[in-house]
Structure 1
Amino acid sequence: MTGGATLSAAHVLADTARLRPDATALVADGARVPYGALWQDALRYAAALRRQGVGPGDRLALLLSNTAEFPKAYYGALAAGATVVPVNALLKTAEITYILRHSGARALVCEGALLAEGEQAATAARVPLLTVAAPGPAPAGPLALDVLAAGTPPLDAAVPRAPGDIAVVLYTSGTTGRPKGVMISHFNLVMNIDTTMLAPFAMRPEDVVLGALPLFHTFGQVCAMGTCFRAGATLVLMRRFSAEGALALMTAERCTVLMGVPTMYVALLQAVRDSPARPRPDRAYSGGSALPVQVLADFEAAFGCPVYEGYGLTEASPCVAYNQPGLPRRPGTVGHPIRGVEVRIARPGTADRVEVLPAGQRGEIVVRGHNVMAGYLDDPGATGAALVDGWLRTGDLGVLDADGRLTVVDRTKDLIVRGGYNVYPREVEELLATHPAVAQCAVVGVPDARLGQEVCAVVVPRPGRAPDGRLAEEIIAWSRERIAAYKYPRRVEFAGALPLGPSGKVLKRRLTADLGAPRPGG
């Protein structure tokens, strides 16, 4: 970059470290890390990366879990002027290899606990491997970046970047094919963090945030880590979420802010009934997928704090709309668009243009503003299909009310068409969440020779209820009395747990595949 305006996302951490060097930035594995020390470690990582040939514009892949090494490497890479490519820590060798090759990663930083998959992937992709938090390497083994950084003088400051330079490439889950690399600019990232830190997250220096969301995912990375560091608050990391562990950690650290996906809220509700831990957060935020209204109400009653539900997607950096402190909350909606972002409802099926619909009509959610991605990496076709007439086409169905509040109806791809009638799974899931025997559920469409698709509910029953034919018949009959005839599930299957992706979303495509051909009856 030569001349012009500069805007590095590294300053999210750097500025707070300058103003509050002694404040606690991280609590990780029992250690407390001040802001000043965290930023100096990041600058040492940046210097060590430079010695390994990683510089401005290079892409650096990170295969790291929720430890202190993540923010050190993440902000170190940004400080070096590189583009960060976070890799889902649950992926297998072939999946990691694809991301390394597609992104053109200059190197892979991998923690010791993930080397079984990471080392093979780096070898297959012919990408240099750098380790952190790993046993000492053999003479011919991979270089330990954290050891190298500890003995390297830190950079004086972050390398300047232009607002439009790419800060992060985030790979989608790949549910509709190969994962796509979403390019998020420094401008996208800084604006989303600065905006949402104020509203909806209302972060203050005295806040303590539970970092249970994976940092390799945009929700945990931007909404939890980014806004927390920008405000000078404290992030309490969990290596991996468990409801019992979260309750204990929230109580011990007196966490004031909880951010999670709906499956986390369900698990916390189940765990708190049998736990002596009684955390009292000030506020909670839900995103990633729809939070059933019943779960929201039950959580607020059990934990004594408001839950603010919102909506976003990777391509929007990620926040689009949220219920916000200071504004009336309306459960079942995702509130108003965040500052500087426009949301409209467009007529579905018009691929070459965006035709905006009046308030109150249901259609595809489209977004424009500072949060919209730069595009998909090396995929002009997908970029052109997603960015139309200046709008981001989300693929989600929703409706805006007269006051500008957004309700997300469902994903376009999850829509069930039964005998010519549209069935929105979220509506059926909201109903089933109020059944006394249902702990969790997911509604999917399964093939049907006569109707095209049939409505199937996959249910995790509450403790004490046997997952048998009698309960299935009870749920079907109960639903029939409360919802239109074409909507209620004719088929109920039971599961001990729902399959979840890395962000905690239910993997409905896996459910559909596992269900196979429909059975008669119901």
Structure 2
Amino acid sequence: MNITHGLRRALQVNPNGLAIVCGERRRNWREVGERVTRLASAIRGLGAEDGDRVAILSLNSDRYLELYLAAGWAGTVIVPLNIRWSQLENEDALRDCRAGILFVDKAFAPVGTALATAIPGLKLVYADDGETPAGMADYEALVAQSDPIPDAMRKPDDLAGIFYTGGTTGRSKGVMLSHGNLMANALNALGEGLWPGSAVYLHAAPMFHLANGAAMYSILLSGGSNVVIQGFTPDGVAAAVQKERITDVLLVPTMIQMFVDHPALPSYDLSSLRRIAYGASPISDAVLMRAMKALPNVEFTQAYGMTELSPIATILHWKEHIGDGRAKGRHRAAGRATLGCEVKIVDANDKVVPTGTVGEIAVRGDVVMMGYWERPEETARAIIDGWMHTGDGGYMDADGFVYVVDRVKDMIISGGENVYSAEVENALAQHPAVAQCAVIGIPSERWGEQVHAVVVLKSGATAAPEELIEFCKTLIAGYKCPRSVDITATALPLSGAGKILKRELRRPYWENRDRRVS
């Protein structure tokens, strides 16, 4: 199977079924199939060959969904770029994967032009309404002018996409996912009852992010209906649910909190909404309780995983959020191994630890990534004997429920986005007043965790926290920058080997909590 399998099936069994809604545009699967085959032809016409990388930097749209399919149909590899990254970060990703074509919408057309100036030979395609900027090909013109081509019929072990995640050493890594990886995850989710063919799914989470991709690939495989909004707002989600009778949506916990706390929520008809999947970061008990009260007819399901796992490893079903499951505290778990996955908890020597003992969560299955793009050493450290080592600390109970309690690797999850401390520290260290710094995650009611920096200044130097935060914003994406900074006159605590003891810095913020992630 490959990622275009679902489209081929929909064209055969449900060609007149509703495929995509975006604003006032509504298309059935026959119309989408025609556009995808022509767009794939256009991609080849722009010079892309088998395995070449095709990138996109855009807000959510129906064209984004078409490109996911067309890239596979053309035999190329899609590279969704992070809309929250700085231009320099996305330039680094484009250079790293050597993408030859970049699709942009109106919001990112100026960035696209700057990227094409910085990267000679990069071809731009304008994938939006309105006048096409100079130096760009027009998406709709390419579709209209190109003749349909047959599906390239990529094999399961062929590369389908490169999804960039933060780098533990300060530079992003490209996670290589095959057609087989993505289809295995889609089938696993469908087997668990998520996102069936009858679903009307709302793309509200960013489409570059594989959290939304987990649902998207399942919907594309099952032939359900896709409704797309440009991006998340509480009113935007509520209005779409009311107008299009949405049944399913995936939201990160921060979005759920903003949605259920929205004062205008009771004015919308949300009666069609049946299921909310949440993931990318843990949800607090308080937010979950408010959500269940505000949406009493909605079933909540947690999906835990990571990009490197295509992305789902465990599922916590609705029944564990209520009744006997809740009484046993299982609503605080990340769930049990999903269909097609195995999970174990290991110690520092990669030995399985006893039930209830905290260790590192490791996962095996057809969802484990092919590796990191052109980084074999980092791949070898992450995947050992077929097991992906997640970097999350947790334990498993006697019934196979996994509880995430800490992080082994130095990562913060803020608002559903991964932030690697090294990236932020590398930025802070470039400020002329900074002698030493450490970046940690501390609890945040709104973001789950927030990025916090502890800084020692050089002798005689001065710098205010606000100045250091603004300095970081010139180098890295805003969501990675510290939201708070402590400037201390004392040296940071060090281990015998001279490594900063971040657990000592984190301890005051996480005391009296049953887990050290949020």
Bucket of the pairwise TM-score, normalised by the shorter protein? 0.7 to 0.9
- Alpha-carbon distance change, 71 to 439 in structure 1, aligned in 2, over 3 angstroms: closer
What is the CA RMSD across the aligned residues, in angstroms? 2.9
- Per the TM alignment, residue 317 of structure 1 is displaced from its structure 2 partner at its CA by 0.4
1:46 touches 1:79 (CA, 8 Å); kept in 2? yes
2:341 maps to a residue whose letter is: V
Is 1:59 aligned to 2:53, yes or no? yes
TM-score (norm 1): 0.77
1:516 maps to a residue whose letter is: D
Find the counterpart in structure 2 of residue 476 from structure 1: none
1:397 touches 1:409 (CA, 8 Å); kept in 2? yes
2:283 touches 2:448 (CA, 8 Å); kept in 1? no
Distance 1:164 1:125 in 2: 30
Report 1:341-360 matches (<5 A): 341-348=341-348, 350=349, 354-360=350-356
Deviations 1:103-148 (A, max 9, x none): 011211222331111121122122122222254447x622223312
Give the alignment partner of residue 391 of structure 1, picking from 382, 387, 392. 387
- Per the TM alignment, residue 306 of structure 1 is displaced from its structure 2 partner at its CA by 2.2
- Per the TM alignment, residue 40 of structure 1 is displaced from its structure 2 partner at its CA by 1.3
Give the alignment partner of residue 233 of structure 1, picking from 215, 224, 228. 224
Find the counterpart in structure 2 of residue 336 from structure 1: 336
Distance 1:398 1:510 in 2: 27
Is 1:131 aligned to 2:102, yes or no? no
Is 1:379 aligned to 2:375, yes or no? yes
Find the counterpart in structure 2 of residue 511 from structure 1: 482
2:259 touches 2:265 (CA, 8 Å); kept in 1? no
Deviations 1:425-466 (A, max 9, x none): 99x95xx8xxxxx666636776499xxxxxxxxxxxxxxxxx
Query: Structure 1: which 4+ aligned runs deviate by more than 4 Å?
Result: 134-138, 272-275, 325-329, 438-441, 443-449, 518-522
Range 267-276 or range 238-247, more displaced: 267-276
Distance 2:399 2:294 in 1: 30
Distance 1:299 1:273 in 2: 15
- Per the TM alignment, residue 515 of structure 1 is displaced from its structure 2 partner at its CA by 1.5
Distance 2:278 2:478 in 1: 15
Uncovered stretches (5+) of structure 2, i.e. residues with no partner: 413-439, 457-471, 491-507, 510-518
2:359 touches 2:394 (CA, 8 Å); kept in 1? yes
Give the alignment partner of residue 84 of structure 2, picking from 82, 85, 90. 90
Give the alignment partner of residue 213 of structure 1, picking from 201, 205, 214. 205
Find the counterpart in structure 2 of residue 80 from structure 1: 74
Distance 2:51 2:257 in 1: 42
1:362 touches 1:397 (CA, 8 Å); kept in 2? yes
Find the counterpart in structure 1 of residue 251 from structure 2: 260
Distance 2:305 2:245 in 1: 28
Range 267-276 or range 390-399, more displaced: 267-276
Find the counterpart in structure 2 of residue 41 from structure 1: 35
- Per the TM alignment, residue 273 of structure 1 is displaced from its structure 2 partner at its CA by 5.8
Aligned residues: 437
1:12 touches 1:190 (CA, 8 Å); kept in 2? no
By relative contact order (CA 8 Å, sep 6+), the higher-ranking structure is 2
2:164 touches 2:174 (CA, 8 Å); kept in 1? yes
Give the alignment partner of residue 400 of structure 1, picking from 396, 400, 405. 396
Residue 89 of structure 1 aligns to a residue whose secondary structure is coil
Is 1:287 aligned to 2:279, yes or no? yes
Residue 516 of structure 1 aligns to a residue whose secondary structure is strand
- Per the TM alignment, residue 63 of structure 1 is displaced from its structure 2 partner at its CA by 1.6
1:129 maps to a residue whose letter is: L
Distance 2:233 2:453 in 1: 31
- Alpha-carbon distance change, 308 to 137 in structure 1, aligned in 2, over 3 angstroms: closer
Distance 1:200 1:401 in 2: 24
2:242 touches 2:269 (CA, 8 Å); kept in 1? yes
- Per the TM alignment, residue 72 of structure 1 is displaced from its structure 2 partner at its CA by 1.4
TM-score (norm 2): 0.78
Report 1:11-26 matches (<5 A): 11-26=5-20
Give the alignment partner of residue 442 of structure 1, picking from 438, 446, 449. 449
Uncovered stretches (5+) of structure 1, i.e. residues with no partner: 1-6, 416-424, 433-437, 450-498, 500-504
- Alpha-carbon distance change, 66 to 448 in structure 1, aligned in 2, over 3 angstroms: closer
Is 1:323 aligned to 2:309, yes or no? no
Range 273-282 or range 167-176, more displaced: 273-282
- Alpha-carbon distance change, 11 to 286 in structure 1, aligned in 2, over 3 angstroms: same
Deviations 1:230-268 (A, max 9, x none): 222212111011012211221222211121100011101
Distance 1:162 1:32 in 2: 31
